[in-house]
Structure 1
């Protein structure tokens, strides 16, 4: 048996290829939308993808299940659990609790584990050529290394009302009846790692075991004592922001993401053509350089989506393709980087591109408006906007600052005043440039705090923390 993990550092997301080397059959679990890595892998290993499946309706990225099935002719398997509100809207084989996908000599058994979402499945994997019981579980967003999938996303991203409490109780029961019923030696391979917004304290290592989590995970004592109320309170406390784009991902993944087919190279535009498209407002200019480079000067109205780190997530903070119908014009180093940025952005459903440029040439540029920490107090009636996570804000913030996370600020811009100077900051400046440029393009002028919060602290400015109740 072959079990290969593909990890996307951008979205902290893992997908898996399981292959039977005796028959050449393979299944891919939780694929992303740029599918070249899976096609390359099966070619390397002499396999063919006969099945594609996913653990649940994802919120943080657009599923590649339909894309990969279209490219390979593989059968699609999705959850048939969760009730009518969580039924997939495209043709596929429906999996119910204890159903099995057969891949050569390998058995992949679905187990219904509601909690993170009502339809969530995990997959118990048995290498039939070696054993007659499962040795591995692909746990999706149910059990992570050292943590659990958050049960509040339906409230935060899908319009639910207080579903988090039932979800937390469902997680408790799923742990008890499915996860802890497995032998300690079973290896656990989750769908996310550290940095994902699908949990609050995910471990950075790739896998764990049932026994290790039973002994050492924070939730173990609550399960051992049967303390449902304590478990629910601890699970729901301190969850990170659910980014606004999660709601779109939920809808598109439930209904079925559009199939892109083979992706072509992007076209490089010459200076005159690029200038004409920008002047006519036919494109959205996207500056992928470092935050400092964008602040030094970029095209008026440009979005900032740095081509380092969290490109897909940052892109989804700044671009809502349901509202923005103009194609993106990428400012990059070269053609390969343009393809790399495009491949990251299609993971969150940003699919339309006019091409790329590698130089600003004679295009007009403007620097970002910034303000030194010591000058903020001189502004009359300033509105200070903190775009960090709630936990960062709680650790200390600029006195009087209002917090709206960078992943929500464009959608919650009606909460910003029209008659006050808006001063924005994050921790070091990377998230802030994404948020501030998105607000500027939306017609909301903002001034960035130089050095962001770290600059504020280094300048010896006062810090406020919430008063304990």
Structure 2
């Protein structure tokens, strides 16, 4: 048997390639839209990807399942569980719809199908047995977003992201049942999860790529609860706010993901700036001079996690930056189903007409202690960060909601903005400019520094 995992850092997502070396067949599980790495790996091992499977309808990335079928003629295997509202639509004619107790054969490798709802109603897990290697018992389980290292999948995304009322409660109940079901499986099973630390599909995912079921039974919080009510309470508390694009992912992954297109970008003229224009340059460069009303999301390893909050899938987008950064940004956005990048403009060709205002943490704290009730302070951190500690008199609006939510300050008054470290408040500057605010001041160092200075 051949086994390889693929980790995408931007999405903290795991895909898996499993092949039978005797027959040359292989399957890819939970693929992204960019399937080149899977193909290259399979060919290097003398394998051909003949099948592809998905553990559930994903909310955090655009599935590559249909592209594997279109480009490689691989047979797709998807869930038929969870009821009519959770059925895949517009699938290829050769799609195999799976239920509890079904099997997928890849040469001499067997995947036994388990229904493990909770994260979503249709979620499946696959138990792998290497019969070609002489085994009659399963080696491990592809647990998708049911079971992670140190955590289980959150049940609230259908309600918080897709606005399907009441699904959090039913999902939490299902997750409790799935955990009890997993307790009956052998301890030796390796756990191959769908995500690692950094994913928004749970609140406390571990950073190691795999585990064993025995280890999780001893250390994963979800296995420690025997009271269903207490389990459900812990499961839903303090889950991070899901990025806005999650709702779009649920929709297109269920109905149809278009064929992935070429993501190379090309220069556009200065009069082609779109309603949403993202400046890809570092925060400090942007703040020293930028185009008024553009959004600064630097092209780094966190780009996708921030950009996903602001996408309008019906509208085009333009970048400001260099071609290599624009190409990478477009490639990453395609992973979450966004294909409307119009092009990029070099900052050398633009009149960078706006300089951001900033203030040192020490200077702000002096002002705050003198007249905190007279300052307009905007905290753009998450709900959990805010509840842990915040400045008295501050108002909170999550950074990703700044283009859409009602804002609590007069547009012509000074507004002092902070997050935890300074990254999200840098993005907030451009969002507030777009909303017409004329005097925005970014507090350097964020709440991390402010908290230390307040205690002195």
TM-score, structure 2 as length reference: 0.90
The structural deviation recorded for 1:142 is 0.6
3-state SS of paired residue (1:285): strand
Structure 2: how far apart are the matches of 1:213 and 1:379?
Answer: 47
3-state SS of paired residue (2:221): coil
Q: What does residue range 280-295 of structure 1 map to in structure 2 within 5 Å?
A: 282=274, 284-295=276-287
Summarize deviations over 1:70-101 as a string: whole Å, max 9, x none: 22111122111111111112213311112222
Structure 1: how far apart are the matches of 2:257 and 2:185?
Answer: 34
Q: 1:457 aligns with which of 442, 451, 454?
A: 451
Q: Which runs of 5+ in 1 are unaligned?
A: 464-469
3-state SS of paired residue (2:399): coil
Structure 2: how far apart are the matches of 1:442 and 1:112?
Answer: 46
3-state SS of paired residue (1:176): helix
Matched-pair contact (CA < 8 Å) for 1:283–1:329: no
1:73 corresponding residue in structure 2: 73
- Number of matched pairs: 445
2:127 corresponding residue in structure 1: 124
3-state SS of paired residue (1:453): helix
2:381 corresponding residue in structure 1: 388
3-state SS of paired residue (1:250): helix
Deviates more, 1:439-448 or 1:113-122: 439-448
Structure 2: how far apart are the matches of 1:93 and 1:383?
Answer: 57
3-state SS of paired residue (2:354): coil
Q: 1:326 aligns with which of 313, 316, 319?
A: 316
Structure 2: how far apart are the matches of 1:348 and 1:198?
Answer: 14
3-state SS of paired residue (1:348): coil
2:355 corresponding residue in structure 1: 367
Structure 2: how far apart are the matches of 1:41 and 1:69?
Answer: 17
2:339 corresponding residue in structure 1: 351
3-state SS of paired residue (1:97): coil
The structural deviation recorded for 1:187 is 0.3
3-state SS of paired residue (2:43): helix
Structure 2: how far apart are the matches of 1:385 and 1:341?
Answer: 29
3-state SS of paired residue (2:132): coil
3-state SS of paired residue (1:414): coil
- Residues 1:231 and 1:69: Cα distance change in structure 2 (over 3 Å): same
Q: What does residue range 118-197 of structure 1 map to in structure 2 within 5 Å?
A: 118-130=121-133, 131-177=135-181, 179-197=182-200
Summarize deviations over 1:271-308 as a string: whole Å, max 9, x none: xx532323xxx574321122222222222222222111
Structure 1: how far apart are the matches of 2:309 and 2:120?
Answer: 23
Structure 2: how far apart are the matches of 1:84 and 1:160?
Answer: 14
1:256 aligns with 2:244: no
Structure 2: how far apart are the matches of 1:234 and 1:98?
Answer: 30
The structural deviation recorded for 1:416 is 4.1
Structure 1: how far apart are the matches of 2:408 and 2:110?
Answer: 54
Q: What does residue range 46-445 of structure 1 map to in structure 2 within 5 Å?
A: 46-91=46-91, 92-130=95-133, 131-177=135-181, 179-222=182-225, 226-261=226-261, 263=262, 265-267=264-266, 269=267, 274-278=269-273, 282=274, 284-322=276-314, 325-332=315-322, 334-335=323-324, 337-372=325-360, 373-374=364-365, 375=367, 382-411=375-404, 413-419=405-411, 421-444=414-437
- Residues 1:158 and 1:365: Cα distance change in structure 2 (over 3 Å): same
TM-score, structure 1 as length reference: 0.88
The structural deviation recorded for 1:231 is 1.3
Matched-pair contact (CA < 8 Å) for 2:102–2:112: yes
The structural deviation recorded for 1:422 is 3.9
Matched-pair contact (CA < 8 Å) for 2:151–2:221: yes
The structural deviation recorded for 1:112 is 0.7
Matched-pair contact (CA < 8 Å) for 1:14–1:191: yes
Q: Which runs of 5+ in 2 are unaligned?
A: none
Matched-pair contact (CA < 8 Å) for 2:292–2:430: no
Matched-pair contact (CA < 8 Å) for 1:318–1:435: no
3-state SS of paired residue (1:101): strand
Matched-pair contact (CA < 8 Å) for 1:387–1:404: yes
